Amino acid sequence: MLTTTLTVALVGNPNAGKSTLFNALSGLRQRVGNYPGVTVEMKKGQFSADGVPAELIDLPGTYSLAARSPDEMVAVDLLLGRRPEEPRPAVVVSIVDATNLDRHLYLTSQLLDLGVPVVVAVNMIDAAAAQGLTFNYAKLAERLGVPVVPIQANKGLGIPELTKAIRAAAESGKVPHGPAFPEAFDSVVEQLQKELSGEIPLFLTRRLLLDIGGYVEQWLVERHGEELKAKLAAAREKLSAAGHATPGVEARTRFAWVRAAVAAAVTKPTVRPVTWTDRIDAILTHRLWGTLVFLVVMFLLFQSIFLAAKPLMDAIDGVRESVAKAAEEVMPSGPLRGLVVDGIIKGVGSVLVFLPQIMILFGFIAILEDCGYMARAAFLMDRVMSRCGLSGKSFIPMLSSVACAVPGIMATRVIENRRDRFATILVAPLMSCSARLPVYVLLIGAFIARPGSSGWLPGLVLFAMYMIGFTVAPLVALTLKRTLLRGAPPVFVMELPHYRRPKVISVLRRMFEAGKAFTLRAGTIICAAMVIVWALLYFPHTDANGGSYPDRLEKAEEEARQHVDLRKELKAKENASQQEQDELAKLDEEAALPDKLRGEWKRQSILGRAGRWLEPAFEPLGWDWKIGVAAMASFPAREVIVGTFGLLYDVGEVDTKAIGNNEADDEAKEKAAGLTRAVQKEWAPDPVRGKYGVPVALSVMVFFALCCQCAATLATIWRETKSWLWPAFTFSYMTTLAYLGAMLTFQVGRLIVG
Amino acid sequence: MPTLADLSPGQRAEVLAISGDPALVQRLYELGLLEGEHVEVVALAPLGDPIEIRFSNSRLSLRRAEAAGITVALNADCRMRDSE
């Protein structure tokens, strides 16, 4: 009787139904395991193996144990018990697709060499039956030398039998053996094993010999030097001469064995039936129809993350505002209230506001992946994306980034190749996201769409801003793939899986998991960035005479509130007396005082002072220090610049949503229009900005098109790459690009204006 | 010798030899594309690259450059024989 927890590893090809089986076994008892130094995550879940508590580790889907990267090596090391953080699995469950047994059993035959009991789970027996296949499972088990259990993971069929088999396999401890390799091969491996003085297990010595340029070779050559490389070349040469060239010898040996086993145990219809996949692919990978369907699907995806998410995001924003208001009312004024209202509540709100987009996108991706369309989309877009050194798999992450880079970066998980994935992550924030729109609209409204200018000009400028991202991103991707992320060209061979009906529960699960991962991991960092920028704009909170700004502000607001009705009354009067007009002017001034105080406060805050100090750096861009401060303060999120502009130009906080929105309420619209006027007015007498208003506005827009002023993006990059290096790199290169782009825009614009 | 990259959709052929980058060759082997396998080109992507092929019960997408390393003999009879 086993008393300790069994460790069980789940291994299978992509699309074998691995996740479905994992969920069927472990239900909601799941968590994510991280491994230092690599980007892979493996899910772990608890289940009962016929009464014995067991931990199930879901290894990444793979076609083979021939590891080519550190990420792939994690799975192999884990199976061999070479990862310090995990015990060696007591049983390996090999899940295979019944409709494509030969190919899936290739991986099984590799698992048989690990020296660990193996249980084979034959999945999707219903689809196989529909194709006219009949199985003799006892025969298959006899040929493979391990227990075989038919299952249908999506319906939970065969799961009790599978857990029984797992327990029995663990208790028997019977170690299987894969197919025998040619003797000549075995003797070369033995020789090599001796020369390495048993440093690595026999399994890895075989991999060292078979995987030309594979991970084991890279790793050992680094340790032993070029001498080993020469030795390997000689050994491979010798095998080739004996008619067992690598890597073909492995494929021939294993497939011969596997196909013989399948031939003995499975009866196939003599004529291959036309499957649904054949029929659907005739349309979906067709040059014309396939392209049309693709465009419709992408349009729906894009619209849903752009538009369907909007009401939800507005609702979250609304809740945040009412919570902030409530907190403002119950808390006494002071730094603590400021921290809670402007730092923490704003921070949490700005994290939650991303959830609708993330969850909708992941719902879409789950459906597209589960039904098999994802690979077709990558197939259709591969040529276009290959122009910038990427592959078709980068298309959906890049497209999603036009709505928001955060879900886009998370969606790069569908890209297996590490360098392609990183290149996509690093350029995704260049795509013009929806948060840039308020910045563009504000500045276009103030400087481009002026009376007398052509009606098509504002639209053209907006279009140009979007095109900046679409042109710069591929160029940067290409540069990265040729420099920092250079390496052997990856293999682009991609399986196009059978079409299947997606399951609602698994789609919901993916949406929930994506939302949870973002909130827990990236959320804390976004909140921290919000709090830091809040503090930089809050302190010092006393004026030159030692008066406290929060107190002065409260008093001024209170006075303005008291006279609000009187002011309205006076304003409405048609023929007011001189005295009444003076009174109104005084009251107007009083009403404007809070915003003036806010501006004064921000201008002498730490960030405000830093802005003035840094003014020479902003000069080549045509910016004054106020623009500089607004740009710096927008580090947590681009759209913050609109609000900060409002504060610095003494019009109070402007609601970003009211910019260019006809449905906003009158007060918010009035404020937004007030900001436009204030910027125009402030810039008019200035020698630089007065004359060159348009180039300055364009320079600010270009800066925001290229910069990475978005803490959420940086936090997500950190989470996905598991290193601070990449977000730091992204921020640096994008800020440099933005600075140079803005400078070029201003300087060229200045020459044109003359 | 024709390669897989020379075939048009609907054409079938037998794989004679696979060459190219070791990682590519190994991946094709792992996916069950061995010498002697019968392959059908199912479709071309909109810009003519990559190509979709079918053999046994698998479908793969390959770039033209990758397919050019797979030399084939065109099947005279158009009935696809599924390799057992």
Instruction: Pick the closest to residue A312 from A347, A344, A354, A365 (CA basis).
Output: A354
Lookup: tokens for A339: 């921290």
Per-residue pLDDT at B15 exceeds 90: yes
Per-residue pLDDT at A134 exceeds 80: yes
User: Rounded to 5 degrees, what are φ and ψ at A52?
Assistant: -95, 125
Per-residue pLDDT at A741 exceeds 60: yes
Cross-chain residue pair B82–A252, CB shorter than 8 Å: no
The residue written with tokens 């002071």 in the block is A334
Cross-chain residue pair A281–B56, CB shorter than 8 Å: no
Mutate to test the interface with B, among A379, A382, A498 (most CBs of B within 10 A): A379
Mutate to test the interface with B, among A286, A298, A491 (most CBs of B within 10 A): A491
Per-residue pLDDT at A664 exceeds 70: no
Q: How far apart are CA A174 and CA A107, in angstroms?
A: 19
Cross-chain residue pair B34–A251, CB shorter than 8 Å: yes
Cross-chain residue pair B84–A106, CB shorter than 8 Å: no
More confidently predicted of A624 and A293: A293
In chain A, residues with a C-beta closer than 8 Å to the C-beta of B59 are: 277, 281, 495-497
Closest CB from A106, A277, A286 relative to B43: A286
In chain A, residues with a C-beta closer than 8 Å to the C-beta of B31 are: 63, 103, 493, 495
The residue written with tokens 């219903």 in the block is A126
Q: Cβ-count burial of A504 within 10 angstroms (0-12 exposed, 13-18 middle, 19+ buried)?
A: exposed
**pLDDT digit string (tens) for A213-223?**
899 999 999 98
Query: What is the pLDDT, as a whole number, of residue A95?
Result: 97
Which of A156-165, A475-484, A583-592 is predicted least confidently? A583-592
Q: How far apart are CA A414 and CA A551, in angstroms?
A: 53
Cross-chain residue pair A247–B80, CB shorter than 8 Å: no
What ipTM score was computed for the predicted complex, to two decimals?
Answer: 0.91
What is the rounded average pLDDT of the residues A393-412?
88
- Please say whether the beta carbons of A135 and A128 come within 8 A: yes
Which of A111-125, A511-525, A730-744 is predicted least confidently? A511-525
Q: Kindly identify which residue of chain B lies nearest to residue A375, measuring between CA atoms.
A: B61
Q: Kindly identify which residue of chain A lies nearest to residue B32, measuring between CA atoms.
A: A103
Which of A319-323, A441-445, A474-478, A639-643 is predicted least confidently? A639-643
**pLDDT digit string (tens) for A175-185?**
999 999 999 99
Lookup: tokens for A658: 């009211």
In chain B, residues with a C-beta closer than 8 Å to the C-beta of A213 are: 22-23
More confidently predicted of A450 and B67: B67
Instruction: Pick the closest to residue A339 from A189, A538, A516, A518 (CA basis).
Output: A538
Query: What is the pLDDT, as a whole number, of residue A562?
Result: 82
> Looking at CA atoms only, how far is residue A218 from chain B in angstroms?
13
B interface residues, A as partner, C-beta within 8 Å: 21-32, 34, 42-50, 52, 56-63, 66, 80, 82, 84
In chain A, residues with a C-beta closer than 8 Å to the C-beta of B69 are: none
pLDDT-derived band of residue B79, with 50, 70 and 90 as boundaries? very low
Percent of chain A clearing pLDDT 90 (strictly above): 39
Per-residue pLDDT at B84 exceeds 60: no
More confidently predicted of A525 and A186: A186
SS3 content of chain B, % helix, strand, coil (to 5): 20, 35, 45
Cross-chain residue pair A493–B43, CB shorter than 8 Å: no
Q: How far apart are CA A634 and CA A252, in angstroms?
A: 60
Across the A:B interface, residue pairs with CB atoms under 8 Å apart total: 124
pLDDT-derived band of residue B81, with 50, 70 and 90 as boundaries? very low
pLDDT-derived band of residue A442, with 50, 70 and 90 as boundaries? confident
In chain A, residues with a C-beta closer than 8 Å to the C-beta of B28 are: 493
Query: What is the pLDDT, as a whole number, of residue A508?
Result: 93
Per-residue pLDDT at A417 exceeds 60: yes
**pLDDT digit string (tens) for A104-121?**
999 999 999 999 999 999
Mean pLDDT, chain A, rounded, equals: 87
> Looking at CA atoms only, how far is residue B43 from chain A in angstroms?
6
Please name every residue paired with A542 in a beta bridge, in sequence order, or none if there are none: A548
Whether omega for the bond prior to residue A53 falls within 30 degrees of 0, making it cis, is: no
Instruction: Pick the closest to residue A70 from A42, A43, A35 (CA basis).
Output: A35
Q: How far apart are CA A503 and CA B56, in angstroms?
A: 27
Q: Cβ-count burial of A173 within 10 angstroms (0-12 exposed, 13-18 middle, 19+ buried)?
A: exposed
Lookup: tokens for A183: 């003797």
Mutate to test the interface with A, among B8, B24, B28, B30 (most CBs of A within 10 A): B30
Q: How far apart are CA B49 and CA B62, in angstroms?
A: 8
Which of A51-65, A472-486, A576-590 is predicted least confidently? A576-590
Q: Kindly identify which residue of chain B lies nearest to residue A249, measuring between CA atoms.
A: B29
Per-residue pLDDT at A731 exceeds 50: yes
Q: How far apart are CA A586 and CA A575, in angstroms?
A: 18
Cross-chain residue pair B48–A383, CB shorter than 8 Å: yes
Lookup: tokens for A394: 């980068």
3-state secondary structure of A58: strand
**pLDDT digit string (tens) for A630-650?**
888 888 887 777 777 777 776
User: Rounded to 5 degrees, what are φ and ψ at A151?
Assistant: -140, 165
Cross-chain residue pair B84–A259, CB shorter than 8 Å: yes
Which of A29-43, A317-331, A496-510 is predicted least confidently? A29-43
Cross-chain residue pair A379–B52, CB shorter than 8 Å: yes
**pLDDT digit string (tens) for A277-291?**
888 988 998 888 999
Lookup: tokens for A313: 């995001």
Q: How far apart are CA A77 and CA A36, in angstroms?
A: 13
Query: What is the pLDDT, as a whole number, of residue A209?
Result: 94
> Looking at CA atoms only, how far is residue A271 from chain B in angstroms?
8
**pLDDT digit string (tens) for B20-63?**
999 999 999 999 999 999 999 999 998 888 999 999 889 999 99
Closest CB from A106, A212, A380 relative to B46: A380
Lookup: tokens for A485: 């992320």
Q: How far is CA B61 from the centre of its chain?
A: 9
Cross-chain residue pair A492–B25, CB shorter than 8 Å: no
3-state secondary structure of A214: coil
Closest CB from A99, A290, A380 relative to B57: A99
How many C-beta atoms lie closer than 10 Å to residue A509's C-beta?
Answer: 17
Q: Using CA of residue A650, residue A653, residue A657, residue A658, what is the dihedral sign?
A: negative
- Please say whether the beta carbons of A356 and A434 come within 8 A: no
Query: What is the pLDDT, as a whole number, of residue B83?
Result: 40
Mutate to test the interface with B, among A106, A206, A212, A285 (most CBs of B within 10 A): A285
More confidently predicted of A111 and A564: A111
**Amino acid letter at A310?**
K
Cross-chain residue pair A382–B61, CB shorter than 8 Å: yes
The string of DSSP codes covering A75-128 is HHHHHTT--TTSPPPSEEEEEEEGGGHHHHHHHHHHHTTSSS-EEEEEE-HHHH
